[in-house]
């Protein structure tokens, strides 16, 4: 039986607010993405993942959802979504949408009803608790964004739990009504034809029932697997659709519990995004990922960047060297069994932007004074020219920096040696060479600071992928392959 499509897909994350604005308000939107589908097709990805575009007050960039079954007017209308989906499918691109089940927005009608009347049934959808005798919050849990995870509801005097911003109250997944509501939400989008869901904070839906102190009690409780089994049942009624869970745990052994034939098909492996550009680190993490995830019912995910992380060109040192290393790392991982999740603008070699304090929008910045995640969320520079760089005719919601002129799409398009052309070539070769290869990864002897593996096809043909993580040239002994500093070579045999 052929492997399902999601098992070895290249999925491109579109940060909806920052991809393409179609109406000059400075905010990316669905019609903008629609118009850019040919770019994505030409880039050579298999699927796109759209970050939340649902009605939201945008306290956390749309991860605070006020209505799960509609489109925020800033991003368009449901008809725009349908049109985008239809054309993506016509081009052979699959579409993942984001689902945010851990929390809603404070502006969701459920939460509004819950605070308006503490005896309303909606109150039971959330986690309200009385404070301690001294008036302090019910326990010591901290918000991921800084400060207490509890905010006092002034009307009732009780506190509500929010593992993220105070504008994102957590739902009570021990309440069966929450399950019912989310089954309907999944069906709403499945019926429209989405190919899958990226599940936000998939590890955090259940908290310790007794709400004991200690951050280990705030998430990653085994009860959550019941939800993924239930959701998988719904999804499987629709054929070959897929889930990818954002299981934000750096311990990949724990992440592995979330996936399997009756749970999620895949989960992001953030341990990969934590690796330094170093041969030993890559070998250790990749080996363990393959052991844990390369099995029936799941496959590894390779994630180097996303809208919450420092862009990997920057993490790997920045500048020309950072870009070279970033490309080498991608070219190495993308040849392995499993799915690669790319983040928009990495194909341009973009680095983290230094967003000035007055322009920042991330709640992390407002809650803690730390720079936050805006630096990886700046809009896509399509053109080297113009204030809006082809992204908008208006004022972009986050400012461009000098990279926009230097790395814009139109500066790299058709230019040999550009990062964009290197990505296109890499993805073209992947489509051409990888599908027939066996899933087994055989490590080869490699010089110090280098890694090499081979994957072989049934007809004997094989692909050797070798990466030189050092700043000096190296030579792979067998097969003999010359490796420039900080580059990955794909070498065909047979």
Contact residues toward ligand NOJ (CB under 6 A) are 60, 63, 100, 164, 200-201, 246, 307-308
Name the residue nearer to ligand NOJ (CB basis): 201 or 407.
Answer: 201
- Grouping H, G, I as helix, E, B as strand and the rest as coil, residue 331 is helix
Quickly count: other Cβ atoms within 10 Å of residue 361's Cβ.
18
Asked whether 53 and 81 are in contact (CB, 8 A), the reply is: yes
Q: Shortest gap between Cβ of 60 and ligand NOJ (angstroms)?
A: 5
In sequence order, what are the residues at sequence separation of 6 or more whose Cβ sits closer than 8 angstroms to the Cβ of residue 379? 17, 18, 19, 21, 28, 389, 391, 392, 396, 397, 398, 400
When CB distances are held under 5 to 8 angstroms depending on the partner's kind, the choice from ligand NOJ, Ca ion, none that residue 401 binds is none
Q: Shortest gap between Cβ of 201 and ligand NOJ (angstroms)?
A: 5
Q: What angle do CA 169, 170, 174 make, to 5 degrees?
A: 145
Please indicate whether residue 180 is annotated as part of the active site: no
Lay out the site mask for Ca ion across 17-56 (x = CB under 5 A, - = otherwise). ----x-x-x-x-x---------------------------
Q: Which one of the spans 15-23, 126-134, 317-325, 375-383 is the region binding Ca ion (CB under 5 A)?
A: 15-23
Name the residue nearer to Ca ion (CB basis): 89 or 395.
Answer: 395
- 247-to-94, 252, 301 alpha-carbon distances in Å: 22, 9, 12
Q: Which of 8, 158, 165, 200 is catalytic?
A: 200
Beta bridge partners of 491: 464
Q: Shortest gap between Cβ of 100 and ligand NOJ (angstroms)?
A: 6
User: What is the spatial distance between Cα 405 and Cα 432, in angstroms, rounded to a whole number?
Assistant: 33
Please indicate whether residue 362 is annotated as part of the active site: no
The per-residue DSSP string of 282-300 comes to HHHHHHHHHHHHSSTT---
Q: Which of 154, 191, 237, 358 is catalytic?
A: 237
Name the residue nearer to ligand NOJ (CB basis): 145 or 423.
Answer: 145
According to CB under 5 A, which residues from 272 to 291 bind Ca ion?
A: none
Q: Shortest gap between Cβ of 308 and ligand NOJ (angstroms)?
A: 5
Of the candidates 317, 490, 319, 346, the residue with the CA atom closest to the CA atom of residue 419: 346
When CB distances are held under 5 to 8 angstroms depending on the partner's kind, the choice from ligand NOJ, Ca ion, none that residue 25 binds is Ca ion
Asked whether 423 and 43 are in contact (CB, 8 A), the reply is: yes
Of the candidates 123, 172, 165, the residue with the CA atom closest to the CA atom of residue 143: 165
When CB distances are held under 5 to 8 angstroms depending on the partner's kind, the choice from ligand NOJ, Ca ion, none that residue 158 binds is none
Token digits for 331? 């070219």
For residue 264, the 8-state DSSP code is B
Of the candidates 17, 43, 45, the residue with the CA atom closest to the CA atom of residue 32: 17
Q: Note whether 393 binds Ca ion by CB under 5 A.
A: no
Name the residue nearer to ligand NOJ (CB basis): 248 or 453.
Answer: 248
- 77-to-55, 87, 98, 384 alpha-carbon distances in Å: 10, 16, 16, 30
According to CB under 5 A, which residues from 122 to 181 bind Ca ion?
A: none
When CB distances are held under 5 to 8 angstroms depending on the partner's kind, the choice from ligand NOJ, Ca ion, none that residue 63 binds is ligand NOJ
Q: Shortest gap between Cβ of 358 and ligand NOJ (angstroms)?
A: 21
Interaction site with Ca ion (CB under 5 A): 21, 23, 25, 27, 29
Active-site residue set: 200, 237
């Amino acid at each position: 039986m052929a492997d399902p499509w999601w098992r070895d897909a290249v999925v491109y994350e579109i940060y909806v607010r920052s991809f393409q604005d179609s109406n000059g308000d400075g905010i990316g939107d669905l019609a903008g993405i629609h118009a850019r589908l040919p770019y994505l097709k030409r880039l050579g990805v298999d699927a796109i993942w759209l970050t939340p575009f649902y009605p939201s007050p945008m306290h956390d960039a749309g991860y605070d959802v006020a209505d799960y079954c509609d489109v925020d007017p800033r991003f368009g209308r449901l008809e725009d979504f349908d049109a985008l989906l239809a054309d993506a499918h016509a081009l052979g691109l699959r579409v993942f949408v984001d689902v945010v089940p851990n929390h809603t927005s404070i502006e969701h009608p459920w939460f509004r009803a819950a605070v308006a009347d503490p005896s309303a049934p909606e109150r039971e959808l959330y986690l309200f608790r009385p404070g301690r005798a001294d008036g302090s919050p019910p326990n010591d849990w901290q918000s991921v964004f800084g400060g207490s995870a509890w905010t006092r509801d002034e009307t009732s005097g009780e506190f509500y739990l929010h593992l993220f911003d105070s504008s994102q109250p957590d739902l009570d997944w021990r309440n069966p009504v929450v399950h019912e509501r989310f089954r309907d939400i999944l069906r709403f989008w499945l019926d429209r034809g989405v190919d899958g869901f990226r599940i936000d904070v998939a590890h955090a839906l259940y908290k310790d029932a007794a709400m004991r102190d200690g951050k280990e009690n705030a998430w990653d409780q085994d009860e959550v697997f019941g939800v993924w089994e239930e959701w998988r049942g719904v999804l499987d009624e629709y054929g070959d659709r897929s889930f990818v869970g954002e299981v934000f745990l750096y311990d990949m052994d724990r992440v592995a519990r979330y996936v399997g034939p009756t749970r999620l098909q895949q989960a992001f492996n953030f341990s990969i995004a934590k690796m330094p550009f170093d041969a030993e680190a890559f070998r250790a993490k990749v080996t363990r990922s393959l052991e844990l995830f390369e099995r029936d019912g799941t496959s590894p995910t390779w994630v180097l960047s996303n809208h919450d992380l420092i862009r990997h060109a920057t993490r790997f040192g920045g500048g020309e060297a950072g870009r070279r290393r970033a490309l080498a790392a991608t070219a190495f991982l993308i040849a392995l069994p499993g799915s690669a999740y790319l983040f928009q603008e990495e194909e341009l070699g973009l680095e983290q932007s230094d967003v000035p304090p007055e322009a920042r929008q991330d709640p992390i910045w407002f809650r803690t004074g730390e720079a936050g995640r805006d630096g990886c969320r700046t809009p896509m520079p399509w053109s080297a020219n113009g204030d809006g760089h082809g992204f908008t005719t208006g004022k972009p919601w986050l400012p461009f920096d000098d990279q926009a002129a230097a790395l814009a799409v139109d500066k790299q398009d058709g230019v040999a040696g550009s990062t964009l052309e290197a990505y296109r070539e890499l993805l073209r070769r992947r489509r051409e060479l990888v599908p027939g290869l066996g899933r087994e990864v055989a490590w080869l002897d490699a010089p110090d600071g280098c890694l090499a593996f081979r994957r072989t096809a049934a007809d004997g043909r094989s692909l050797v992928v070798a990466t030189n993580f050092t700043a000096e040239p190296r030579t792979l002994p067998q097969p003999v392959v010359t490796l420039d500093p900080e580059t990955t070579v794909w070498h065909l045999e047979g």
